[in-house]
Chain A
Amino acid sequence: MSLVITLATARRILTQLRHDRRTVALMVLVPTLVMILLYYVIDDERTFGRFAPVLLCVFPFLVMFLVTSIATLRERTSGTLERLMAMPLGRLDLLLGYGLAFGLAACAQVALALAVSLTWLGLDVPGPLWPLVLVALLDALLGTALGLLCSAFARTEFQAVQLMPVVMIPQVLLGGILVPRARMTPVLEWVSDVLPMSYAIEAMARACADPDPGGEFWRDVALVAGSAVLALLLGAATLRRRTP
């Protein structure tokens, strides 16, 4: 691993994004636009206040998962990954480079969605804002890490896109948004217990409701961060210098 190579990789990915303005616009604007749409569909500030944190949780994850899985799949199929693997680039250099670059993109995404929610849409957060931002960023990193991991199981961009609902929908359905997790049948609750999104949604709900998030918030944050690290390490294991 080398800091120089990691930073060069992050810079390269940001440059690629810069050349693709439409992707950047979609990435940054879509969560905010959906937030606004949700606000007018619900048309009730209290109910909106309950769903908004969930969206702040789901979106960074969703977008980063998609963008990363397709970007790394392209890297695998275009031969650039093989070229890099023949060079003195560590596997973590590549993964952390992606994490850093897309993490920065996620910052912009979350900042806009949060700013619009807090001002125009009147979202009321009793406590400080940093716990929200922290959870949203961890979500984005988790999405990036899982995207990297899942891209190893997709041969084509079609497959990569199809993996998104596979990874995403169970996590949202079992995340306690529609039905509280404690009310699910035991089997589903167990599954829900091992899905990282459950803790991300829980942490976001606490950050939005509690002016002084305590020990349980930090436990959730640690679980989400731990899952991201685990996914990143598993992703690193799927990058092979030698391929058959």
Chain B
Amino acid sequence: MMNFADTAVAVRGLRVSRGGAEVLHGLTFEVPRGQVTGLLGPSGCGKTTLMRALVGVQVVSGGEVTVLGEPAGSAGLRRRIGYSTQSPAVYRDLTVLENLRYFAAVLGAPKDDPERVLTEVGLADAAHQLGATLSGGQLNRAGLAVAMLGRPELLVLDEPTVGLDPVLRQELWALFHRLAGRGATLLVSSHVMDEAARCERLIVLRQGEILADDTPDGLREATRTSDLEEAFLRLVAERAAA
């Protein structure tokens, strides 16, 4: 059992229903502080819903979600969590810098924060470009930059690397580890299993249930395979047999 100071997120029996059907069936897990934890699973398995519940924008039907020592959705958490949604939530009719300045003002982040995060995500060249003229990858990074404003203790990033080229993906994962190195906790979702190897801890989700909650090595060992994609398939087969 981890103690409180080491745990960024503690979830007990989380249940969420959407559109009349239960999509998360009583999840229990913890996310350690200062690490990159991957939330993996196929599209539609409940990753986004789970992330929305952690951030406190999802109506939940049961269970307890504690984030940074406070119940999820508490007013005090709104400055401490950075959240980036799957489709980049930036204003298309503002420039990247104008977007960042506005969100920085809402968060009460330092004046030079917009420039800092732009440099960190490698988007400084596009600072004065309108959101509507950005490429998909640039939009993605703009959304990520907004989440980094104000140096939040917890970053909840929903598929931040989807659709990006391999070079960019590698750069972003390096950035995630840099942020974790500075003490931030990251929860990063992906439906691509090869990204799992870049995380320090993995939570594998399927059809609203946790299939595995382990380190990448632990997962390889438990499923007796070196390939994480294969490991996922074996977990599914095991669960079906049980």
Q: Do A and B bind each other?
A: yes
- A interface residues, Cβ below 8 angstroms from B: 4-5, 8-9, 11-12, 15-16, 19-20, 78-80, 82-89, 241-244
B18 within 8 A of A: yes
Question: Is the beta-carbon distance between A88 and B93 smaller than 8 angstroms?
Answer: no
Q: B130 is contacted by which of A8, A11, A19, A86 (Cβ under 8 Å)?
A: A19
The answer to whether B58 touches A12 (Cβ under 8 A) is: no
Provide 18 A-B residue pairs closer than 8 Å at the C-beta atoms, listed in order of the A residue: A9-B102, A12-B102, A16-B91, A19-B94, A19-B130, A80-B90, A82-B85, A84-B106, A86-B57, A87-B78, A88-B75, A88-B79, A88-B106, A88-B107, A241-B57, A242-B56, A242-B57, A244-B18
Cβ 8 A contact of B106, one of A8, A241, A244: A8
The answer to whether B151 has its CB under 8 Å from any CB of chain A is no
B55 at the interface (CB under 8 A from A): yes
Residue of A whose beta carbon sits closest to that of B77: A86
* Chain B residues with CB below 8 A from A83, complex form: 83, 85, 89, 103, 146
- Shortest distance between the CB of B49 and any CB in chain A (Å): 10
Bound Cα distance A84, B146 (Å): 11
B93 touches A16 (CB 8 A): yes
What's the Cα separation between A164 and B59 when bound, in Å? Answer: 31
Q: How far apart are A222's CB and chain B's nearest CB, in angstroms?
A: 33
A87 and B106 contact, Cβ closer than 8 Å, known pairs A15-B94, A19-B130, A79-B85: yes
Of the candidates A5, A9, A85, A244, the one whose C-beta lies within 8 Å of that of B59 is A244
Residues of B within 8 A of A242 (CB): 56-59, 73
Complexed CA–CA distance, A15 and B94 (Å): 7
Please, which residues of chain A bring their CB within 8 A of the CB of B91?
Answer: 12, 16, 78, 80
Contact assessment for A86 and B55 in the assembled complex, using a CB-CB cutoff below 8 Å? yes
Closest to B61 in A: A244
Closest 6 CB pairs of A and B: A79-B89, A8-B105, A12-B102, A83-B89, A88-B78, A242-B59
Asked whether B226 is an interface residue with its Cβ less than 8 Å from the other chain, the reply is: no
Cβ–Cβ < 8 Å partners of B81 in chain A = 86
B-side contacts of A11, CB under 8 Å: 102
Of listed B81, B87, B90, B105, residue having the most chain A CB within 10 A: B105
Interface mask (B69-110 → A, CB under 8 Å = 1, otherwise 0): 000010100110101010111111110001000110111100
| Residues on B with beta carbons closer than 8 Å to the beta carbon of A244 | 18-19, 58-59
Q: Could you tell me the distance in whole angstroms from the C-beta of A79 to the nearest C-beta in chain B? A: 3
Bound state CA distance, A78 and B91, in angstroms? 8
Tell me which residues across on chain A come within 8 A of B106, comparing CB atoms.
Answer: 5, 8-9, 84, 87-89
Q: Which residues on the B side are within 8 Å of A88 (C-beta)?
A: 75, 78-79, 106-108
Contact B103 A87 (CB under 8 A): yes
Q: Which residues of A contact B58 (CB under 8 A)?
A: 242-244
Collect the chain A residues with CB atoms within 8 Å of residue B55's CB: 86
Is B79 in contact with A15, judged by CB distance below 8 angstroms? no
Contacts of B18 in A (CB 8 A): 244
Contact A82 B93 (CB under 8 A): no
Q: Closest CB of chain B to A69's CB: distance in Å?
A: 17
> In whole angstroms, what is the CA distance A80 to B99 when docked?
10
A9 / chain B contacts, CB cutoff of 8 Å: 102, 106
Nearest residue in B to A84 (C-beta to C-beta)?
B106
| CB contact list, B102-146 vs A, under 8 A | 102-103, 105-108, 130, 146
Contacts A87-B103, A88-B107 known; A78 to B83 CB distance under 8 Å?
A: no
- Tell me the smallest distance from the CB of B162 to a CB of chain A, in Å: 15
